């Protein structure tokens, strides 16, 4: 029997909204009913793309054929728009960060339960293959006991010149990219919770909001996890760097360039000292070729379209959402700790 299609509409047709529209049109399990955007330029763009444009948000909400709505608007509007959609009895998919704080998220969660509608968040970076490769290495403990993981995204153009650089609209890199990287950290480590965080924010190109940050998390068993976002990096550091007792892995970029280097012979410990300009060092001398072996990164494949397939299954078949609201709340809690640590210049215990 053919599966029932999910009839869904979009509120917001900017960069992410148009991305959602393209994906929804690719999936046989969904049917895009149309969009609404407050910007006439974006409405014209949607019409040019062959998409139905509603006359208003209320007309969209009054359309009885629409079962669900994806919200892809600036961060500060997620709460009022989500409540309006839920009040119309429609299910909600919201872009991240879903809210500006835990209180807003709790309000949205409670109202979705009251109205009996699905409420989920588009944490799409869970499908990034670079993340999934590192998660596999961690899960399998291929490098021996993991003691350090570093996750970075770097750019060199500052913050985009739109609502993302305005505090009142929920701008800044902690909310824009931190929400992704911290969600990846939580999902990778499973039930392990951070014990503490020390964070620093940067304001190199923008004084109103953070244009970058560094957050060092301490876990049990001496595991450290560094999360870093920068927008003034003209030489980017690796996307991922993971260290275990028996080896190290690196992923340089989203094209998955990288490698694994592991010890192949623990017995040959003698090192030839390295001569520097002001002396020599034996401690930092590189291992000889016969004591290490290089391996390619494992191949891991994903399909982001599974997100909307799951939303359809939740609504029509009673499936469990891939993105749990409790997980989203955990990330919100950690982001607030990052802000608090940076503001007070201290370690925050979680």
Mean pLDDT of 18-33: 96
User: Does residue 2 carry a pLDDT above 80?
Assistant: no
Quote the CA–CA distance of 47 and 38 in Å, as a whole number: 14
Same domain, 36 and 115: yes
Q: Do 218 and 116 share a structural domain?
A: no
Number of structural domains found in the chain: 2
> Does residue 250 sit within a domain?
yes
| Nearest residue to 240 (alpha-carbon basis) of 140, 313, 133, 329 | 133
Same domain flag for 174 and 210? yes
For the chain, give me the number of helices (H) and strands (E)?
10, 16
Strands 212-218 and 196-202, by their bridges, are antiparallel
Reported as a single tens digit per residue, the pLDDT across 278-332 is 888 888 888 888 889 999 999 999 999 999 999 999 999 999 999 999 999 999 9
**What predicted TM-score, i.e. pTM, was given to this entire model?**
0.94
Tokens matching residue 285? 């001398």
C-beta atoms surrounding 35 within 10 Å:
28
Domain annotation covers residue 312: no
Show which of 122, 150, 165 is a domain's final residue.
122
* One domain, residues 340 and 232: yes
Mark whether 166 and 115 lie in a shared domain: no
323 domain residue, yes or no: no
Cα 34 to Cα 21, 22, 340: the distances in Å are: 9, 12, 41
- Determine, yes or no, domain membership for 203: yes
Over the stretch 254-287, which tens digit does the pLDDT of each residue have?
999 999 999 987 667 667 788 888 888 888 888 8
Looking only at the bridges linking them, the beta strands covering 348-349 and 196-202 are antiparallel
In the chain, % of residues over pLDDT 90: 85
Who has greater pLDDT, 206 or 339?
339
| Domain end position, chosen among 122, 151, 178 | 122
Provide the residue range defining the domain that includes 201: 126-256+297-302+334-349
Q: In Å, what is the CA distance from 227 to each residue of 70, 143, 177, 198, 315?
A: 28, 20, 10, 11, 35
- Closest to 47 measured CA to CA, from 38, 34, 60, 29: 34
Q: Are 71 and 79 in contact (CB under 8 A)?
A: no
Same domain, 86 and 168: no
Do both 201 and 237 map to the same domain? yes
């Amino acid at each position: 029997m053919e599966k029932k299609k999910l009839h869904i509409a979009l509120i917001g047709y900017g960069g992410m909204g148009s991305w959602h529209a393209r994906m929804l049109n690719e999936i046989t399990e969904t049917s895009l009913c149309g969009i609404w955007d407050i910007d006439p330029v974006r409405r014209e763009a949607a019409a040019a793309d062959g998409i139905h444009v509603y006359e208003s948000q209320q007309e969209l909400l009054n359309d009885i054929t629409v079962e669900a709505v994806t919200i892809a608007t600036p961060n500060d509007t997620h709460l009022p728009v989500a409540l309006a959609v839920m009040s119309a009895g429609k299910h909600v998919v919201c872009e991240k960060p879903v809210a500006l704080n835990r209180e807003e998220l709790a309000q949205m969660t409670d109202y979705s339960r009251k109205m009996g509608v699905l409420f989920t968040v588009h944490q799409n970076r869970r499908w990034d293959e670079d993340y999934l490769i590192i998660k596999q290495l961690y899960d399998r403990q291929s490098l021996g006991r993991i003691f350090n993981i570093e996750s970075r995204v770097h750019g060199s153009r500052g913050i985009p010149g739109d609502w993302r650089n305005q505090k009142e609209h929920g701008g800044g890199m902690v909310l824009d990219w931190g929400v992704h990287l911290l969600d990846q950290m939580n999902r990778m480590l499973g039930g392990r919770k951070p014990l503490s965080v020390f964070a620093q924010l940067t304001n190199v190109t923008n004084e109103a909001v953070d244009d970058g940050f560094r957050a060092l998390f301490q876990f049990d068993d001496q595991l450290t996890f560094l999360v870093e976002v920068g927008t003034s990096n003209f030489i980017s550091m690796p996307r991922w760097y993971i260290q275990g007792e028996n080896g190290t892995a690196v992923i340089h970029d989203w094209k998955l360039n990288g490698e694994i280097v592991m010890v192949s012979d623990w017995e040959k410990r003698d090192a030839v000292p390295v001569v520097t300009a002001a002396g020599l060092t034996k401690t930092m001398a590189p291992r000889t070729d016969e004591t290490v072996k290089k391996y390619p990164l494992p191949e891991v494949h994903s399909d982001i379209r599974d997100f909307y397939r799951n939303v359809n299954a939740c609504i029509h078949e009673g499936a469990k959402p891939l993105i749990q609201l409790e997980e989203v709340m955990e990330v919100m809690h950690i982001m607030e700790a990052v802000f608090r640590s940076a503001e007070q210049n201290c370690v925050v215990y979680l």
